Structure 1
């Protein structure tokens, strides 16, 4: 009976034929569904003590926030050495360097506290966004003023890495400078001559060009001798060997000179670098607050020549009791004001650092509040105040 049914002619059912492409499409869609599933969001975890979250992917852009080590942000894009991230309700850019941030998937073992079984992927992403900037709780009860000192975002002592005679100083005390601007230069006449000498040596290709011509002629001669030996036998094997030996000798000499040229290129680059080390450039934008050198002076490596201060953002550094520091978290904002202008400079600042340890002598905990100082123009070194909860809050 099985043989009978298996050998019946197949009926070409129109409905059955029409269903074939439909089934094939369904199978293809089912195969593609896993590949099209949106994966959990990727996070960038800050690995350095502090890093600037900037408004644009360049180091001259405005600082939106200063993120502490361990702060987690949701990655939106990655391009040209920068990460576009979401930090709370802000979207900004972080430098994409391996030792600055660490990329992590939300389903990695280190992030198991982000995802929970039975939750949808949308819930996971929403939870990450909410956690990237802590939700600030309501602080009932009395508030208290805490005084602190204002510090600049960056305060850099500039020095040279080599010794030499100061040839020119391109800045004055109080000048505003831009990142990459030339500040001063040491005498580099000897280094300039050495760099030019190395360039002349590197550009000299007379022997290489001569060898290239000789190699072409020797290769042609070697091939002709081989052909004569293989076809007519009118030349001896010794003559073939001599022609090959001459070709390989010239080729070896050419390779040796090519390696010499590579070395000469590196020596020229080293001479240029040595010359460049006689110039001091501004590592950041800011103001010159100290200038301790003049033209004609001799300077040694490590001697402080100038002080460069970036006041675009300020840091109000406080020392508060443990009971006050306990509920504070990076990302919380509080009202701040400044002694010099108590009424006109009231603004808000964001906590960017809460020390994990109290000072053994006083028992106080260091807290830093960062604020945008571009419009305020508050000078570092003054006194500022913050209004913080004065009692311990159980979260």
Structure 2
């Protein structure tokens, strides 16, 4: 298998790279380069720039705004976006619920939701995990009882990312409590403004407000918001998670982080020699780069095989990408912690009464420790790495 890009693909890469360089607002680029999370306004601004270009949803069917790019061109586009670095279009809409809607949804649902997702007119969040039903997602207890032309939903979701901004949430709900736990689940689209929906923040270890609890108390959801068939939601969830796991590999993100590691490690810290001159650090950095190159080649093999995969069927190889991709994202943040050394320690400028001392360390070091803590989660979401190993054992190795 020849994994080298063709001349046409190299020309496409140059076109995409030039567009990102010209069109990405500098303040958004600078925010991401410095390790800060993009704001809601950043995400909306950038996705609408992409949508005006016709590039917000390149992997969708052409009739709904897709580009008809080849799988390799899709891969190049994603990597260049991560290397820019630019924000990804809101994944909960573009990469998660939208493919479920255009693959399994009704024509009315496609017309209603897909154009608004592409232009981020609606902000979506994901209602899967529950207390006691995270990696064992099929144990979820949120109920949806059919009452006439509505489902009445009661229950709780947790770790709901960016739900504080959301207009809509796509939810797995139990519609047949008597069925085998994977068989009695349905996939519902719920308007977050519906009476009975309550969002409560969860503060993460990095001090941020990224995730939330969402409570449903007698929330009435029109039957027309059921995607596909009732009690088939587990199949749609597996399809969605397969798409999410490929994206979690984020090879371009790790490449960009390694570029930053090399740049910062060349700076003299506190009068000492640059860390890049330390042999042991260079060995650790080289080992991560080798693993990243192996992941990149593996992802290219998955991309090359994508055209032969049955539509709507998840690729079990995505679990391999998810495991290694999340491990490398964590490894790169660990290297950044090595770079800043003692400046990674938490510091409270008001720890002594009357103190008005500034935080210790250079400005660029401020977000490295919070990002290190935040990245611990990537081996859990999208299905924990332990669950992915079970999938590989069954679906890939046939054990």
TM-score bin, normalised by smaller chain: under 0.3
Greater Cα radius of gyration, structure 1 or 2: 1
Q: Which has the higher contact order (CA 8 A, sep 6+)?
A: 1
**Greater fraction helix:** 2
**Greater fraction strand:** 1
So what's the TM-score if we normalise by structure 2? 0.20
